[in-house]
Amino acid sequence: MIPARPLQGNNPPPMDFRFLFLEPQGRLPPKPFAQGLILLTGVFMVITVLAAVVSPGLGILQYAVVFPYICLFGKRLHDAGLSAWLWLVFLAGAGFLNMMLSAILLPLLSPLAYEVQVEIQKIMQADGFNAAFEELAARGPEYARLSAVTSVATLLISSAFTGFAAFRMRSDPKPNRHGPPTLQARADELS
């Protein structure tokens, strides 16, 4: 087993995957955060496409990306001198943005999926929730395939907005309870 790297300096070498995605402690400057977020978003996008094309059951693989997201956002929040629990705000913001974008983009990017959604809503109004859930379960693979473009587009847009908000947070130039300042924080302080 490889011993854990000390967190002194909190300036990981370029793309130290273990530090970026598997260690929740420490601080992370904006540039490695952005690189890690792009990589995680790419993985999430591949899983979304696989779930739409191969089988909706593959969507469960998205849960494997949650802990790396927590580590990445948590360290970025630590670098700003904030608690990693604020990641929940980013999660809620991304969820809300994803929901709103889906409602706006589904009729534009995936009109056939929108027709399926309207049919299921009509079944729910006529026959109730149980009938609508049964119809949705039966047509789930079809709906996932038809709405894949919208799913990928909303994922990319919501990830970009939440990532940009975290990226733009100022690094704490002083040591905090999460470790010494990153080189980025020191550079920000000098400029």
pLDDT value of position 187: 52
Establish if 40 belongs to a structural domain.
yes
Establish if 189 belongs to a structural domain.
no
Same domain, 69 and 160: yes
pLDDT at residue 9 tops 60: no
Same domain, 59 and 134: no
pLDDT at residue 3 tops 80: no
Same domain, 103 and 122: no
Helix (H) or strand (E) holding 40: helix 30-53
Nearest to 170, CA basis, from 30, 50, 33: 30
Establish if 2 belongs to a structural domain.
no
Same domain, 58 and 127: no
Establish if 7 belongs to a structural domain.
no
Range of the domain at 117: 111-146
Q: Point out the least confidently predicted range of 99-108, 110-119, 131-140.
A: 131-140
pLDDT value of position 174: 87
Per-residue pLDDT band at 184 (split at 50, 70, 90): low
Instruction: Give me the number of domains the chain comprises.
Output: 2
Residue 186 tokens read as 């020191």
Higher-pLDDT residue of 191, 65: 65
Per-residue pLDDT band at 190 (split at 50, 70, 90): very low
Establish if 26 belongs to a structural domain.
yes
pLDDT at residue 10 tops 50: yes
Burial class, 118, CB count within 10 angstroms (exposed 0-12 / middle 13-18 / buried 19+): exposed
Average pLDDT, the chain: 87
Same domain, 91 and 51: yes
Establish if 29 belongs to a structural domain.
yes
Same domain, 29 and 83: yes
Establish if 44 belongs to a structural domain.
yes
pLDDT value of position 144: 87
Same domain, 34 and 50: yes
pLDDT at residue 188 tops 70: no
pLDDT at residue 186 tops 70: no
Same domain, 115 and 31: no
Establish if 15 belongs to a structural domain.
no
Q: Determine the average pLDDT of the residues in 17-30.
A: 90
Q: Determine the average pLDDT of the residues in 153-181.
A: 91
Same domain, 105 and 115: no
Same domain, 141 and 176: no
Is 143 in contact with 113 (CB distance < 8 Å)? yes
Q: Determine the average pLDDT of the residues in 1-13.
A: 49
Per-residue pLDDT band at 183 (split at 50, 70, 90): low
Q: Determine the average pLDDT of the residues in 57-64.
A: 90
Same domain, 142 and 164: no
Same domain, 156 and 140: no
Burial class, 110, CB count within 10 angstroms (exposed 0-12 / middle 13-18 / buried 19+): buried
Put simply, whether the predicted model's pTM sits higher than 0.75 gets the answer yes
